[in-house]
Structure 1
Amino acid sequence: MLLKTSDAAIAINVTENVIQSWIKKDGLPAEMISGELMINRTDLLEWATERGLKVDPEIFKVNDDENIHMPTLMEAIESGGIHFGVKGNDKETVLRNVVECLNLPDKLDPEFILQVLLTREAMGTTAIGDGIAIPHVRNPIMLRIPKPKIALCFLETPIDFEAFDAKPVNILFTLTSPTVKVHLHLLSRLAFALREKRLRSVLQNQDSKETIMAVFKEIDSSPGRPK
């Protein structure tokens, strides 16, 4: 899950000096391991997505469960659902209601999932700008579920998530997955999709479920999407 700064530079198509400058001056998360700076792949994608930078999806390929089905965004969102008017006037209440939208199996404790999300937010915002957040992107929510889900939630009241662009959040994507590989696959696809102006437009307008799903279907079939 960790990259050398040289590999991160290749993934974003910049020099290694630029990566090291981002670590020192711009908050790119990194940790020192055996005397060498290392970057978590998911941290890199989150940080780059906040700033509109393209990341090569090849760095998110992992070898676990090679035979598992890699879902499209449309499949994952169909499973997780699109939810309008999610209530809450603060982050905890909103996330509690988002957990309810996940429609988790009875054996999973929703309070535990809520605390996982709140702990992650306490470490740093999951907002990526333009009123959008992806709760718990740095450490995947791995659950024993039959198939991965992305719950797309539109908030009734925009909430301050301490976003990079200072805009309050009113759109949340919450990923739950049975494996790391599927999580990274969906996260890289979602980061790619959110660079598309037509998707941002239908999200900001809170268009119908049918319209939103149609845009995801188009993006899923576009030539430049991550595989």
Structure 2
Amino acid sequence: MDLTAKDAARMLNVNEDQIYAWIRNGTLPSYRVKDRYRLNRVELLEWAAARSIKVAPEFFHENQQADGDLLLTGALARGGVLQDVPCTDKTSALREVCARLKLPEQIDRDELLSVLLAREALCSTGIGNGVAIPHPRGPIVLGLAEPSVSLAFLSQPIDYRALDKKPVTVLFVIISTTVHIHLTLLSHLMFALQDGQFRELLDRRAAEDAILTKSAEIERRVLQADKARGGAR
């Protein structure tokens, strides 16, 4: 789903004039439809994260699963945490991660790598503060029954052409099954990355159990806030 300038202003807690100023100076990615600016929701999330701009909580609630599942936590549990992934650059990092992902044998890992590299050629998924989220603009269709998110801690910092120009040491690789789930996973992950304790776990390369516990705690907060917001209507 794409956004209007008014939507973007509400989500970033700024006025519309600021949105238009960012668009005019080329800072904020956008495009025009019938003389009106539109912004891609995924790009806006990445842009805000790279600049440490807080996104309004209701933005994340809009993509919440109706059944209340802890979608990100479940996807992380399936994808797992990869420690000390050897690499020298972006391509070698993604190649090694694709080789280690928990995927069925019939999945073509070379095809997956090609899709991820094609997305990086379009625009880096390095969102800043040492984190990148390799993914296409839509879901990767691999015939999987459930989505997964794999967290990879790299053996050394690498140049990822991130928005803040800082080297990357952490990758979250998202493999989705539908457009809605892709957007929800990305939204929940961006929300988690705004949490100081979650970021601290990443900085010290915590064990998988600790990361999953914190992820579940954060997602439950989102669910509770969404329930409270719904009850207030």
SS in structure 2 of the partner of residue 191 of structure 1: helix
Counterpart of 2:158 in structure 1 is 159
Shift of 1:198: 0.9
Per mean C-alpha deviation after superposition, the further-off stretch among 84-93 and 157-166 is 157-166
Deviations 1:130-161 (A, max 9, x none): 21111126333243211110000001121111
How much has 1:47 moved relative to structure 2?
0.8
Q: Which runs of 5+ in 1 are unaligned?
A: none
Using the alignment, how far apart are the partners of 1:221 and 1:124 within structure 2? 32
Matched, 1:124 2:114: no
Q: CA-to-partner distance for each residue in 1:29-64, whole Å, 9 max, x for gaps?
A: 11111221111111111111111223346556469x
SS in structure 1 at match of 2:221: coil
Q: How many aligned residue pairs are there?
A: 225
Q: For the residues of structure 1 that align with 2:6 and 2:14, how far apart are their CA atoms? A: 9
CA contact (8 A) 1:46 1:138 kept: no
Partner Cα separation in structure 2 for residue 14 and residue 137 of structure 1: 28
Matching residue of 1:22: 22
1:50 maps to which residue? 50
More helix by share: 2
**How big is each residue's C-alpha offset from its partner over 1:104-138, in whole Å with a ceiling of 9 and x where there is no partner?**
33333211111111111112221122211111263
Q: TM-score, normalised by structure 2?
A: 0.86
Structure 2 distance, partners of 1:226, 1:53, is 20
| Alpha-carbon distance in 1 for matches of 2:114, 2:77 | 25
Residue 193 of structure 1 corresponds to 192
Give the 3 Å change call, closer, same or farther, for CA 70–212 of structure 1 in structure 2. Answer: closer
Matches within 5 A, 1:31-50: 31-50=31-50
Amino acid at match of 1:45: L
On the 8 A contact 1:133/1:171 being kept in 2, the answer is: yes
TM-score (norm 1): 0.88
- Identity among equivalent pairs (%): 40
* Runs of at least 5 residues in structure 2 that lack an aligned partner in the other structure: 227-233
- Let me know the Cα RMSD of the aligned residues: 2.4
Amino acid at match of 1:101: R
Aligned partner letter, 1:14: V
